[in-house]
Amino acid sequence: SMQRIMLSLDSFLVFAFMFTVSLSCTYLCPPTKNAGGKKLLGKLDNCASLEVRSALDESAARRGSSDLGGQNKASSSSGSHWTDKLPNALIVGVKKGGTRAVLEFIRIHPDVRALGTEPHFFDRNYDRGMDWYRGLMPRTLDSQITLEKTPSYFVTREAPRRISSMSHETKLIVVVRNPVTRAISDYTQTLSKKPDIPTFEELAFKNRSLGLVDTSWNAIRIGMYILHLENWLQYFRLSQMHFVSGERLITDPAGEMGRVQDFLGLKRIITDKHFYFNRTKGFPCLKKPESSSQPRCLGKSKGRTHVQIDQEVIDQLQEFYRPFNIKFYETVGQDFKWD
C-alpha cells in the first residue's frame, strides 16, 4: 500500500541521514589512540556533534579497561554508570619533574580514569569553557577518580584561581625534583628540538663571574618552587596538595605511589610487584600487564642523557637555589635533600 511505501521511504531517509552524520564525524574525529595533544584537542573541538565526543570517550574508557587487564571490573560493580565529570584531582607540575611517570603509574589503578594528553585548559584554553574541558575527560564511574595532568599549571599565575573556581576541593599533585637537575633536563629537551640555542651557562647567568643568575629564563624560574607555591596557597589549603619527590620516584616508585594513593583516598593496589628497573633508561618501568606482550616504559623522550655541565656552574646554581629550597621544605614540611 501507499502508506507502507511512505513508511519505508521515511526509514530509508533516517538511515541515510544517520549514516552521513556518522561518516562525517568519523572523518572529523577519528579515534586515534596515539594522537598528540594539540592534534587531539583540535579534532575534538571540530567534532560534528556532542554524541560523537561521548562515543569517543566511551571507546577510550573501554580501551582503558582492556589496557588494565580487566582490573576495572572491580570498580564496575561498585559504580553505577559511566558519566562525564570534571577532574577530582590534577597533576599540576612540574615540567621535567616526573609528571608523566606519576600519570602512567597511577592510571593502572582500577579506581582512576586519567586523560592521556595534556589539555592545558587552565593556562592556554580557558576561554573554550568548562563544558569543552569536561568533554575531554574520559568517561568515569561514580566511584572512580577523574584525573588530568598539565605540568605548566604550577607556574601559571591564573591557574590556582581558575581551578579553585571549578572546585575548592580539587586535590593537587606536584612532582618536584632538584631544581638544578630539573633545569639541565629542561635545557636538554629544548636542545634536542633547537640545536642552535646558546649554551646552558649563557642562558642561566646574567653575569657568571658575579654569580648573577637570570631568573627570567623559564628553566631557572620553574625551580623556584616556593614562589609558585605561595600563589597556590592563596586559593588552596596545604592539605589539598601532595608533593611527590622526583628522585624517590626513581629509587622507590612503589613507596612514592603508595603515598599518592593514600592522598587520593585509594586502596594501595600499586605496589612493588608492578615495577622493574630499566637500566638503559635509568628509571623504573611498569611490568607488562596480562593483556600485553610488552612492558610499559615511558617514551624515548624520557631518560635522555643530560648535557654535561661544568661542576662550578652546578655549584653556583645549587647555592642560588638553597634559600628557596629551605623555605620550600619548611612550608611543605618535607626535606627533599637537594643540598
Helix (H) or strand (E) holding 219: helix 218-221
Q: Is 36 annotated as a binding residue?
A: no
| Residues identified as active-site | 96
Cis amide prior to 21 (ω within 30 degrees): no
* Nearest-5° Cα angle at 216, 210 to 222: 110
Query: What CA–CA distance (Å, rounded) separates 249 from 97?
Result: 10
Q: Is 156 annotated as a binding residue?
A: no
Q: Is the dihedral of CA 324, 193, 147, 298 positive or negative?
A: negative
Q: Is 33 annotated as a binding residue?
A: no
Cα 204 to chain centroid distance, Å, stands at 27
Q: Is 177 annotated as a binding residue?
A: yes
Q: Is 100 annotated as a binding residue?
A: yes
Q: Is 303 annotated as a binding residue?
A: yes
Contacts of 13 (CB under 8 A, 6+ apart): none
Q: Is 96 annotated as a binding residue?
A: yes
Q: Is 274 annotated as a binding residue?
A: no
- Cell numbers placing 134: 569536561
What SS3 state is found at 224?
coil
Q: Is 281 annotated as a binding residue?
A: no
Inter-residue long-range contacts of 270-279, CB under 8 Å, 24+ positions, other chains counted = 270/105, 270/106, 270/108, 270/109, 274/105, 274/108, 278/303
Torsion of CA 101, 107, 108, 112, to 10 degrees: 150
Annotated binding site for 3'-phosphoadenylyl sulfate: 96-100, 177, 185, 302-306
* Binding site listing: 96-100, 177, 185, 302-306
